[in-house]
C-alpha cells in the first residue's frame, strides 16, 4: 500500500506548480492544502495508478482512498473520490458508514466535499434510495461539511427527477442555516431538482421566500425560465 501512495505523491510533487497553487487558492475562503495543478493532470495520475490496483478488493481500494483522504490535500482527495466512484458497482449500503467517516473526519473544503458526494455518494443513493435517510441525519450535524454533503449528494439524482420530497425535507432542515457553504449547497440541490420539477421547486422557493437566505434563493432559481426568475425576485 505504501508503495502506490509514495508513487502518487511523488508524481503530484513533480507536477506541482506554484502559480497554479496560488490561482486555485482563490477559490477557497479557508486555507486549502494544495499541490497546485490543473484537474486534468490529477485525473491522469489517478487513472494511471488505478490500473495498478484495479485487481484489489473493494476494502483494499477503500483503505488506499482513506489514506489519500487523510492527507488533507485537495488533489489526493480528488484521486480518492475518483477511485471510489470507479468501483461504484461494488458498493452496498454498508459503505455509507465509510463515506460518512471520510466526510466527517477528512473533508475541509467545498471542492473535496462535492467531488466525493456528487459522484460516489450520489451513485450509491441511486442504487439504494432508502439510504437517503442518512442524508437527513447529516443535515442535522454540527459539521458544516456534513450539512453540505446532505444536499450535494443529491445533485445528480435530483437532476434526473429523483428524491423530490427528500430534497424539500433536507432544504427545510437547512433552510435558515447561516453558513454560506451550506446555503449554496442546498440552493444548488434545489436548482438541480428544478431540472425535472420546475413548477414544484418554484412553488417551494416562493413559499420560503421570506426566510430563505438570499444566497440559497438565487442558486435555487438560477436555471428557471426568465419570467419565473423575474417574478421570484419581485419584492
Residue 108 pLDDT > 90: yes
CA distance 218 to 93: 34
Q: How much is the pLDDT for 235?
A: 74
Residue 86 pLDDT > 80: yes
Which residue is listed with cell 506541482? 16
Contact 232/196 with Cβ under 8 angstroms? no
**Do 79 and 150 share a domain, yes or no?**
no
**Do 75 and 21 share a domain, yes or no?**
yes
Looking at the domain assignment, is residue 95 inside a domain?
no
**Do 67 and 164 share a domain, yes or no?**
no
**Do 78 and 157 share a domain, yes or no?**
no
**Do 146 and 235 share a domain, yes or no?**
yes
**Do 114 and 218 share a domain, yes or no?**
yes
**Do 178 and 123 share a domain, yes or no?**
yes
Predicted confidence (pLDDT) per residue in 11-68, tens digit: 999 999 999 999 999 999 888 999 999 999 999 999 999 999 999 999 999 999 999 9
Looking at the domain assignment, is residue 5 inside a domain?
yes
Predicted confidence (pLDDT) per residue in 169-181, tens digit: 999 999 999 999 9
Task: Report the 10 Å Cβ neighbour count for 222.
Answer: 13
Angstrom CA distances, 112 to 28, 103, 181, 219, stand at 11, 9, 13, 20
Looking at the domain assignment, is residue 187 inside a domain?
yes
Contact 157/124 with Cβ under 8 angstroms? no
Q: What is the DSSP letter of 233?
A: T
CA distance 233 to 223: 14
Number of domains in the chain: 2
Instruction: Provide the domain limits for residue 42.
Output: 1-90
CA distance 115 to 65: 13
What percent of the chain lies above the pLDDT cut of 70? 99
Contact 99/120 with Cβ under 8 angstroms? yes
Predicted confidence (pLDDT) per residue in 114-124, tens digit: 999 999 999 99
Predicted confidence (pLDDT) per residue in 142-159, tens digit: 999 999 999 999 999 999
Helices (H), the chain: 2-15, 18-25, 39-50, 58-70, 74-86, 95-106, 110-115, 122-127, 132-138, 144-152, 155-159, 164-174, 180-193, 198-207, 214-221, 226-232
Residue 1 pLDDT > 70: no
Q: What CATH number should be reported for the domain holding residue 20?
A: 1.25.10.90
CA distance 8 to 14: 10
**Do 193 and 229 share a domain, yes or no?**
yes
Question: Phi and psi for 73 in degrees, rounded to 5?
Answer: -75, 135
Residue 2 pLDDT > 80: no
Predicted confidence (pLDDT) per residue in 188-216, tens digit: 999 999 999 999 999 999 999 999 999 99
Amino acid at each position: 500500500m505504501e508503495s502506490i501512495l509514495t508513487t502518487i505523491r511523488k508524481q503530484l510533487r513533480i507536477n506541482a506548480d506554484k502559480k497554479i497553487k496560488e490561482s486555485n487558492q482563490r477559490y477557497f475562503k479557508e486555507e486549502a492544502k494544495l499541490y497546485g495543478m490543473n484537474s486534468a493532470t490529477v485525473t491522469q495520475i489517478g487513472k494511471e495508478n488505478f490500473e495498478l490496483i484495479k485487481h484489489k478488493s473493494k476494502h483494499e481500494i477503500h483503505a488506499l482512498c482513506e489514506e489519500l483522504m487523510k492527507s488533507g490535500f485537495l488533489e489526493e482527495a480528488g484521486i480518492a473520490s475518483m477511485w471510489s466512484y470507479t468501483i461504484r458497482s461494488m458498493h452496498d449500503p454498508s459503505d455509507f458508514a465509510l463515506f460518512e467517516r471520510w466526510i466527517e473526519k477528512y473533508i475541509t473544503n467545498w471542492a473535496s466535499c462535492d467531488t466525493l458526494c456528487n459522484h460516489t455518494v450520489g451513485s450509491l443513493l441511486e442504487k439504494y434510495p432508502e439510504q437517503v435517510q442518512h442524508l437527513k441525519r447529516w443535515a442535522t450535524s454540527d459539521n458544516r461539511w456534513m450539512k453540505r454533503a446532505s444536499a450535494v449528494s443529491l445533485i445528480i439524482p435530483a437532476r434526473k427527477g429523483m428524491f423530490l420530497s427528500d430534497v424539500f425535507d433536507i432544504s427545510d432542515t437547512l433552510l435558515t442555516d447561516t453558513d454560506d457553504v451550506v446555503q449554496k449547497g442546498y440552493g444548488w440541490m434545489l436548482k438541480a431538482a428544478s431540472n425535472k420539477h420546475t413548477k414544484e421547486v418554484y412553488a417551494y422557493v416562493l413559499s420560503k421566500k421570506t426566510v430563505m437566505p438570499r444566497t440559497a434563493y438565487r442558486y435555487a432559481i438560477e436555471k428557471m425560465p426568465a419570467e419565473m426568475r423575474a417574478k421570484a425576485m419581485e419584492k
